[in-house]
Amino acid sequence: MNIHSLWIGWLLAGSGVSMVAGEAAPSAGAAASSTARLVIRAGAGQEKISRHIYGHFAEHLGRCIYEGIWVGQESPIPNTRGIRNDVVAALKEIGIPVLRWPGGCFADEYHWKDGIGSRAGRPSMINTHWGGVVENNHFGTHEFLDLCGQLGCEPYICGNVGSGTVREMQEWVEYITFDGQSPMANLRRENGRDQPWKLTYFGVGNENWGCGGHMTPEYYADQYRRYATYVRNFGGNRISKIACGPSGGDYRWTEVLMQQAGRQMWGLALHYYCGSGRNSRSATWFDEADWFHQLRSALRIEELIVKHAEVMDRFDPQKRVALIVDEWGAWHAVEPGTNPGFLYQQNTLRDALVAGVTLNIFNQHCNRVKMANIAQTINVLQAMILTRGAEMIRTPTHHVFAMFRPHHDATLVPIELEAGEYRLGAEAIPAVSASASRDAQGRVHITLCHLNPNSPVTVSARFEGARVSRVRGQVLTAPSITSHNTFEQPDAVRPAAFDGARLAGDRLEVVLPPKSVVALELE
């Protein structure tokens, strides 16, 4: 049976895992299956895994923008036009393809004209959603698009429907993309930018079912059509418009939006956080029951994708409208002693596994999922990078994105996986997650996540449609499920060369360590 059918069966069965602080975890996980079978149809496959599935999200929240990205040109921290050099270099390592900004909830109270022109003359604002801090608007449209240029990634801007106007949104698009003579294009030139920028992705509102206005789907569908009408294509620029989609399992929202506004959108944005919640324990203090619950919650994204795609298929059988998961990731309690409105959390090996299984699922559903943006890039939620003043560290999640980079724009290779079970008490989830792709040079890349933290598993793989003569790879694991990188030990969790794979004809045997992510390249 295909592993994704197994996942959905388990996920729909419900969870009975107990998570009482301080209790010892059940030991049933040690009894999980020690073998898995994998068939790799290396010569088959037609769907492309869009590199934008590996996108990111940076909101004006906590220390994501200010300190994380923007330090200003006068800062002693090395920077280029106020943007941190070390952060840009670390993000380029993972080939960041697209960056969503300025929010999030912040987007629906952000007025873009406050963030242009002389920085000394920009008005300050209160960030009412995140900590009540006063922002000086020094990081605005020009700075964001400069950042995207330095990263070599595409900008994805989220417009203000909640508290903004149609004219405000229309003028922002004109300011950015129009190359002729107009009030907004001329204002851009006055602010130092003669040529327009290329802008492909524009979100018409954010979470309008919640912080973006608490709208009904019918009301938002009307508002979407109205606002989207004025998100125009100027000159040769072509904008892909993204509508606010559902929260988690709100299938009615998807139905209404597809029925009433599907023809006017390129993508529909789903939000899903698998984290243990704002009132959870610390991101670094947990036991095996918490580990199991977190991964089980992460796997639920497949159920959501399948069910929302079924609704979308009724109105769009050609799959013209993309499913965009533009906020996803683990959400834990903030680190002790930090501002609860800043959502600063550590990032452990557990988060690396969350990232790995989620990306494998996105890959497998790349016929509908065309973009995903993990929340968030720096210092917030499941971040790629953590900073402390001038110091910077890469998280385990950053390393997973680097290991999965060969999947960018590669062709999805069909697989069949019998994963066995990772059991904890009466509950079970698949022991192994996987996806595979073929790059432009014909090399096959396989990413495998082993969820059981107690014992290794041997994956017996067979190739169809290709001859393989060499295998090499990397592994990410650590001594403890709570292992993480700190400013004192920045490389406690990092990839290493993997020697647990053996080829014999059309057969491949891979011994996965407990609690590990493995990336293989086969030629």
The pairing of beta strand 516-522 with beta strand 444-450: antiparallel
Is 423 found in the same domain as 311? Answer: no
Is 385 found in the same domain as 496? Answer: no
pLDDT for 7? 40
Query: Which helix (H) or strand (E) is 4 found in, with range?
Result: helix 3-12
Last residue of a domain, one of 364, 381, 409: 409
- What are 457's strand-pairing partners? 512
Query: Which helix (H) or strand (E) is 289 found in, with range?
Result: helix 288-315
pLDDT for 280? 62
HSE on the CB side for 282, CA within 13 Å?
12
CATH of residue 332: 3.20.20.80
3-state secondary structure 141-186: HHHHHHHHHHHCCEEEEEECCCCCCHHHHHHHHHHHHCCCCCHHHH
Q: 104: helix, coil or strand?
A: coil
> DSSP assignment, residue 513?
P
Query: Rounded distance, CA 96 to CA 171, Å?
Result: 28
How many helices and strands, by DSSP H and E, does the chain display?
A: 10, 27
- Which residues, other chains included, contact 504 with Cβ-Cβ below 8 Å and sequence gap of 6+? none
Site of tokens 């590990």: 516
Is 237 found in the same domain as 280? Answer: yes
Is 483 found in the same domain as 427? Answer: yes
- Which residues, other chains included, contact 313 with Cβ-Cβ below 8 Å and sequence gap of 6+? 319
Site of tokens 């037609």: 46
- What are 471's strand-pairing partners? 522
pLDDT for 278? 43
**Residue 479, Cβ density class (10 Å: 0-12 exposed, 13-18 middle, ≥19 buried):** exposed
| Alpha helix ranges (H) inside 25-155 | 85-93, 141-151
Is 427 found in the same domain as 375? Answer: no
Is 419 found in the same domain as 404? Answer: no
Is 418 found in the same domain as 386? Answer: no
Over the range 121-156, which residues count as b (16 or more CB within 10 Å of their CB) and which as e?
Answer: ebeebebebbeebebebbbbbbbbbbbbebbebbbb
pLDDT for 209? 97
Is 98 found in the same domain as 8? Answer: no
Domain that holds residue 8: 3-46+413-522
Query: Rounded distance, CA 235 to CA 179, Å?
Result: 7
- What are 241's strand-pairing partners? 202
Is 485 found in the same domain as 348? Answer: no
3-state secondary structure 35-47: EEEEEEECCCCCC
Is 270 found in the same domain as 322? Answer: yes
CATH of residue 493: 2.60.40.1180
Verdict on whether the full-model pTM lies above 0.85: yes
The pairing of beta strand 369-375 with beta strand 55-57: parallel
Last residue of a domain, one of 409, 428, 457: 409
Q: How many domains does the chain have?
A: 2
Last residue of a domain, one of 354, 381, 409: 409
- Which residues, other chains included, contact 499 with Cβ-Cβ below 8 Å and sequence gap of 6+? none
Q: pLDDT tens-digit profile of 435-463?
A: 999 999 999 999 999 999 999 999 999 99
Termini Cα distance of the chain: 27
Sign for the CA dihedral angle at 350, 354, 355, 359 comes to positive
Which of 474, 463, 465, 464 lies closest to 503, judged by CA? 463
pLDDT tens digits, the chain, 523 residues: what are they? 333 333 434 333 333 222 222 223 333 334 434 889 999 999 899 999 999 999 999 999 999 999 999 999 999 999 999 999 999 999 999 999 999 999 999 999 999 999 999 999 999 999 999 989 999 999 999 999 999 999 999 999 999 999 999 999 999 999 999 999 999 999 999 999 999 999 999 999 999 999 999 999 999 999 999 999 999 999 999 999 999 999 999 999 999 999 999 999 999 999 999 976 444 678 999 999 999 999 999 999 999 999 999 999 999 999 999 999 999 999 999 999 999 999 999 999 999 999 999 999 999 999 999 999 999 999 999 999 999 999 999 999 999 999 999 999 999 999 999 988 999 999 999 999 999 999 999 999 999 999 999 999 999 999 998 888 899 999 999 999 999 999 999 999 999 999 999 998 889 999 999 999 999 999 9
Is 330 found in the same domain as 385? Answer: yes
Query: Rounded distance, CA 468 to CA 460, Å?
Result: 15
Which of the residues are catalytic? 207, 327
Q: pLDDT tens-digit profile of 177-232?
A: 999 999 999 999 999 999 999 999 999 999 999 999 999 999 999 999 999 999 99
Is 348 found in the same domain as 241? Answer: yes
